[in-house]
Amino acid sequence: MEYKWLGRTGIKVSPLCFGTMSFGGDADEAESARMYGACRELGINFFDCA
């Protein structure tokens, strides 16, 4: 995974952002954990949890 600088923060993030809107709703805790784990295994470190 090629990471990008997040402005001038000194933090590098994945170019893909995973939205967690379904966590706690459509996706139960176990499914949410599976999705999060799969993202981390692929190198995704940018999550939208707003």
Provide the CA 12 distance to its chain's centre, in angstroms: 13
Q: Kindly report the pTM of this predicted structure.
A: 0.81
pLDDT tens digits, residue range 5-48? 999 999 999 999 999 998 888 888 999 999 999 999 999 999 99
Q: How many Cβ atoms from other residues are within 10 Å of residue 9's Cβ?
A: 8
Provide the residue ranges of all domains of the chain, joining segments of one domain with +: 4-48
Written as one letter, the residue type at 4 is K
d(CA 13, CA 27): 25
Question: pLDDT at position 35, please?
Answer: 93
Residue 8: count other Cβ atoms within 10 Å of its Cβ: 6
The tokens describing 20, both together, are: 């967690």
